[in-house]
Homo-oligomer: A and B are copies of this chain.
């Protein structure tokens, strides 16, 4: 979709430094950009990429305009502006409203006229599919689920039952929401299954990555707030509550009854134990393990970076001899006094 820099500047509230009639038709990285490309620059360490770019124009902050070899769209937050323009230039394919002949929709379900229900989708009792919702092939919408307007469930997604999803959400392929939580009571006969009777409530503008799972609550609902972002292969356990705009990278495990605040950032492979509370504004570094409440915003960590295996094994051996360090220091101190 070709558009002039002048129109982009107006539409997205940027200042333009350059010819308003220059036309761009795609976004690209600075290193790959061509004569019809728009790039963006925000990381000062990549100044070299900016100076060498072949882009027609670059979105950047005012302070970098003189470093640009081409036209500039000047804004205070280049990455956010870029996200908006890239979205504008790459609209989603239009929906083909209607229910595919191969889809199986229960008579008690409601599907908005503007929704697209693709091939081999199954929709169960009392499900409600909102306006302009897209449900991709192979997805399963269990009983009593509700999907808000403009949300998109991509291929082979499963909503087990009693899942409520807000507007403009994206669930990537293989996501499972609303499966039973892990509730097991020990007994003389082995584990007894504890029925999982709650549902899942997901706010607006939530995105869940491929093959992630969010379990239903035991009694009450599991909750994802507005704007939550979950990467691939994550797990949210039963009754957990994730605050608005919290983001978690791939393979994060959130056990049951966890409460995470708003605007938290959880890096990859972090584990959060059951019944933990984490306040707003907390960042957890990769592979961290959270076993106590966190009441103070900030950055937390508990993992070691790799070293060559000999060095590492020597450190582990020393670590296991710390008791002797302690004893030896004590002995020296006693002699010393």
A interface residues with partner B (beta carbon < 8 Å)? 27-29, 32, 77, 79-80, 82-84, 86-87, 90, 100, 102, 104, 118-120, 122, 136-138, 140, 142, 154-156, 158, 160, 170, 172-174, 176, 179-180, 182-187, 190-195, 197, 205, 207, 209-211, 213, 215, 218-220, 226-227, 229, 231-233, 235, 237, 244-245, 247, 249-251, 253, 255, 268-269, 271, 273, 284-292, 294, 296, 298-309, 312-316, 318-323, 325-326, 328-329, 332-333, 335-336
Contacts and interface: CB of A to CB of B under 8 A. Distances in A.
Given A82-B194, A120-B120, A154-B160, 13 more contacts: A154-B179, A174-B176, A176-B211, A182-B209, A182-B231, A191-B245, A211-B213, A269-B269, A287-B289, A318-B325, A322-B322, A329-B332, A332-B332
Nearest to A335: B336
Contacts of A179: 154, 172-173, 209-210, 232
A174 B194 contact: no
A285 B229 CA distance: 28
A232 B250 contact: no
B305 A244 contact: no
Contact of A187 (B80, B100, B176, B306): B80
A102 B138 CA distance: 12
Interface-central residue, A79, A140, A320, by most chain B CB under 10 Å: A140
Nearest to A313: B301
B312 A302 contact: yes
B138 A156 contact: yes
A39 B194 CA distance: 13
B215 A193 contact: no
20 contacts: A27-B195, A29-B218, A77-B185, A83-B183, A83-B194, A102-B104, A104-B119, A104-B120, A119-B122, A122-B137, A122-B155, A138-B140, A155-B158, A211-B213, A289-B306, A290-B305, A298-B309, A299-B309, A300-B307, A302-B306
B289 A304 contact: yes
A297 B118 CA distance: 49
A315 B289 CA distance: 16
Interface-central residue, A80, A104, A191, A323, by most chain B CB under 10 Å: A191
Contacts of A316: 304-305
A159 to B, nearest CB: 9
Given A182-B249, A209-B179, A90 B195 contact: yes
A301 B306 contact: yes
Contact of A250 (B160, B205, B219, B255): B255
A268 B192 CA distance: 20
Given A120-B138, A179-B209, A273-B286, A184 B307 contact: no
A111 to B, nearest CB: 16
**List of 7 A-B pairs having minimum Cβ-Cβ separation, nearest first:** A190-B227, A158-B173, A140-B155, A122-B137, A83-B192, A300-B306, A80-B187
A94 B301 CA distance: 49
A155 B156 CA distance: 9
Contacts of A233: 211, 213, 233, 235, 253
A187 B300 contact: no
Contacts of A154: 158, 160, 179
